[in-house]
């Protein structure tokens, strides 16, 4: 049995907003990666571990690949590009209701250089009819030698079992890297910070979502009370952004706190007391020092 155990790494890459993080959550059956309808929600690479009979697949969710503007964006794109070189298989995710475009071309060139086997995953098939799906597959197949093509709906899970089947042959023989009950390589504190950031991203607009970072300051477990006490700071780049996030009479920050607390409670499986602070750090996303401090090294 152990002799034929398969284990390998699979990167999920694609343009911003195509559903990479949604797919990772769907594969794991748990939410560990935050998602939103705004591009560039994901900033770090996140490993999700999927166990199956006779094997283990480590999925690497990555920030969307795009033309980077600014230091934070460059960091994000580097994370994604590096992931393509370090894995056994790449899932190249595209949207069914989109056409192959310049952004894809840039990614395909990178993949050609990396030489890693690539599976084309067409997401959001709930938004198109079968004939246009076939046309899209045709257009992509002309451009690149994909090992497999799998249409899915990451949101409701259609096609995901087929996708998991399709990747198995590309996983090499190897050891079980993580125990059965480990879901991700990210610490709980990181996921908690991300869940708070997601609520801010979802409830704010324009430049605010991109100028927000969240840091968990303290994380205190009180098992006798089935409670975790968390203090976190939301960093913003402008006084005006702070004003919006706090809201009239503190209404916005209360709502954000409630949203985040509910999700963190589900994730940790305990009651949570969450205290949020908002701090202005002018142009943190352009400062090497602040980026490091906030975990974007
Ligand atoms: N209709 C539809 N929307 C989806 C699907 N998968 C993801 N989305 C939505 O697409 C948006 C971007 O998803 P996200 O996972 O954050 O994309 P990422 O930037 O590639 O990680 C979110 O609003 C998702 O709810 C899908 O299969 N169908
Ligand atoms: Mg994402």
Half-sphere exposure (Cβ direction) of 293: Cα atoms closer than 13 Å = 14
User: What's residue 101's pLDDT?
Assistant: 84
Compute the distance from residue 291 Cα to the ligand 2 centre, in Å: 19
In the chain the domains, ranked by start, together with CATH numbers, are: 2-170 (3.40.50.300), 188-293 (3.30.300.20)
User: What's residue 3's pLDDT?
Assistant: 67
Ligand 1, atom 7: nearest CA belongs to which residue?
A: 19
Chain position carrying tokens 């994370």: 79
Band (99; pLDDT cuts 50, 70, 90) = confident
Q: What is the mean pLDDT of the chain?
A: 95
Residue 2 reports pLDDT greater than 70:
no
Handedness of CA 275, 278, 284, 288 (dihedral sign): negative
User: What's residue 100's pLDDT?
Assistant: 85
Compute the distance from residue 158 Cα to the ligand 2 centre, in Å: 19
Query: Cβ contacts of residue 66 below 8 Å, gap of 6+?
Result: 15, 16, 39, 40, 73, 77, 103
Report, as an integer, the average pLDDT of 57-84: 93
- Within 6 A (CB) of ligand 1 lie 16-22, 35-37, 41-42, 64, 123-124, 126-127, 153-155
Band (297; pLDDT cuts 50, 70, 90) = confident
How does pLDDT run across 223-279, given as a tens digit for each residue?
A: 999 999 999 999 999 999 999 999 999 999 999 999 999 999 999 999 999 999 999
Compute the distance from residue 19 Cα to the ligand 2 centre, in Å: 7
- How far, rounded to the nearest angstrom, does the alpha carbon of residue 284 sit from its chain's CA centroid? 22
Ligand 1, atom 12: nearest CA belongs to which residue?
A: 17
Residue 46 reports pLDDT greater than 60:
yes
How does pLDDT run across 162-203, given as a tens digit for each residue?
A: 999 999 999 999 999 999 999 999 999 999 999 999 999 999
Q: Which helix (H) or strand (E) holds 46?
A: strand 46-52
């Amino acid at each position: 049995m152990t002799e034929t155990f398969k284990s390998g790494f699979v990167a999920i890459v694609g343009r911003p907003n195509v559903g990479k993080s949604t797919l990772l959550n769907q594969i794991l059956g748990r939410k560990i990666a935050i998602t939103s309808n705004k591009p560039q929600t994901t900033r770090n690479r996140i490993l999700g571990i999927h166990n199956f009979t006779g094997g283990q697949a480590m999925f690497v969710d990555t920030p969307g690949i795009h033309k980077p503007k600014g230091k934070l964006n460059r960091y994000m794109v580097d994370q994604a590009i590096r992931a393509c070189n370090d894995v056994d298989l790449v899932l190249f995710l595209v949207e069914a209701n989109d056409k192959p475009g310049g952004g894809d071309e840039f990614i395909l060139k990178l993949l050609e250089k990396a030489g890693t086997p690539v599976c084309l995953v067409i997401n959001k098939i709930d938004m198109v009819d079968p004939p246009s799906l076939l046309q899209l597959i045709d257009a992509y197949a002309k451009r690149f030698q994909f090992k497999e093509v799998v249409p899915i709906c990451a949101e409701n899970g259609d096609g995901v079992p087929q996708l998991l089947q399709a990747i198995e042959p590309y996983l090499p023989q190897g050891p079980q890297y993580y125990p059965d009950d480990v879901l991700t390589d990210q610490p709980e504190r990181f996921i908690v910070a991300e869940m708070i950031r997601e609520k801010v991203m979802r409830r704010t607009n324009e430049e605010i979502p991109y100028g927000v970072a969240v840091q968990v300051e303290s994380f205190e477990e009180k098992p006798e009370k089935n409670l975790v006490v968390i203090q976190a700071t939301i960093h913003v780049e402008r006084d005006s952004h702070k004003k919006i996030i706090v809201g009239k009479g503190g209404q916005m920050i209360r709502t954000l706190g409630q949203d985040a607390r509910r999700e963190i409670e589900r994730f940790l499986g305990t009651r949570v007391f969450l205290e949020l602070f908002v701090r202005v750090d002018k142009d943190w996303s352009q400062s090497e020092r602040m980026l490091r401090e906030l975990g974007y090294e």
